[in-house]
Amino acid sequence: MKLRIYYEDTDCGGVVYYANYLKFCERARSELFFQKGLSPHKDNEFFVVKSVTADYVKSAVFGDIIEVKTNLIEKKSASIIMYQEIFRNDELLFKATFKLAFLKDFKPSKIPLEFFEIFK
C-alpha cells in the first residue's frame, strides 16, 4: 500500500513522528480486508495487537511517497504474526513484527476461515 507523507504525519522538523509508522502499518493491515470487500471489525469480532517489535532504520519526511509491505509469518487458531516493512522507493525505512490476537466479545477466539483467505 502506498501513502504520501503529509505535514500532519511529521514533527516540527518535517520528519515522520515515530508512532505514525505503527499507524501506517495498521492502515495497511486494514486495507488487506477492504480490498477483499471485508472489514477487519465484524460485529464483536476483531484483531488486537498483542505485541510489536519495531526497528526504525531511516526517516521518512514530508512529501515522501512510502510503501507498506505486509507478510503473514505464522498463523495459529486465535493469533497471527505479521511482518511489515516500509520503503521509500527501494530504501528500507522501518520494519516490525506484530503479533495479533483475534477476539470475539473481548475474549480470545478462533479466527474465521474467511479471514485466513485474506492473508494468502
Cell numbers describing residue 10: 511529521
Return the C-alpha cell found at 25: 502499518
Length of the chain: 120
| Contact predicate 36/81, CB 8 Å | no
Question: What would the grid cell of residue 82 be?
Answer: 505479521
Pick the catalytic residue from 9, 11, 64, 90: 11
Is 105 labeled as catalytic in the residue annotation? no
Q: Copy the grid coordinates of residue 71.
A: 507478510
Cell numbers that stand for 50 in this block: 498483542
57 vs 97: CA distance, rounded Å: 14
Q: Which residues are catalytic?
A: 11
